[in-house]
Amino acid sequence: MKTENTRILLVALLTITLSGLMIASGLVRSTAKAQSNATEMNATSNATSNTSSSTDDPVVVQTDAAIIAIKDGKTDEGRKHLLEAEKLMEGRPSIADSEKRIEAAIKALNDGDSNGSISQAEEAKKSLVA
């Protein structure tokens, strides 16, 4: 009887320990994911608050997002924003100069010149908000 009680106690302790480890493991993983999401949300918030223009023009918004992404070393994300800005500019002859600047920014980024890309994108933005 004593051996049976010891065995039951051992199994119960083992079960509780394993359950605790599984819960702790899931908690660490979910905390890491939550922290990652918070970082992404903070970056997006910073991108929005760091813009120097208060415009609703989607081209300017995309250009700002591209500049911030490239400055943060996220060249692929920056390229996507530049391509989206270029697409939004098509068919608008009044902003042809800005479109050429965005195209130059994309080319510079493709050539590995992040600083040149940022410079061209900033010039495009200046033309758009002027």
Each residue's pLDDT tens digit, 95-108: 989 999 999 999 99
User: 3-state DSSP call for residue 100?
Assistant: helix
Dig out the tokens for 67 from the structure. 């500049």
pLDDT in tens, 12-70: 888 888 777 667 677 656 555 555 554 555 544 444 444 444 578 899 999 999 999 99
How far is the C-alpha of 53 from the C-alpha of 108, rounded, in Å? 24
- pLDDT for 125 equals 93
Given a cut of 70, whether residue 123 has pLDDT beyond it is: yes
Q: For residues 82 and 105, is the Cβ–Cβ distance under 8 A?
A: yes
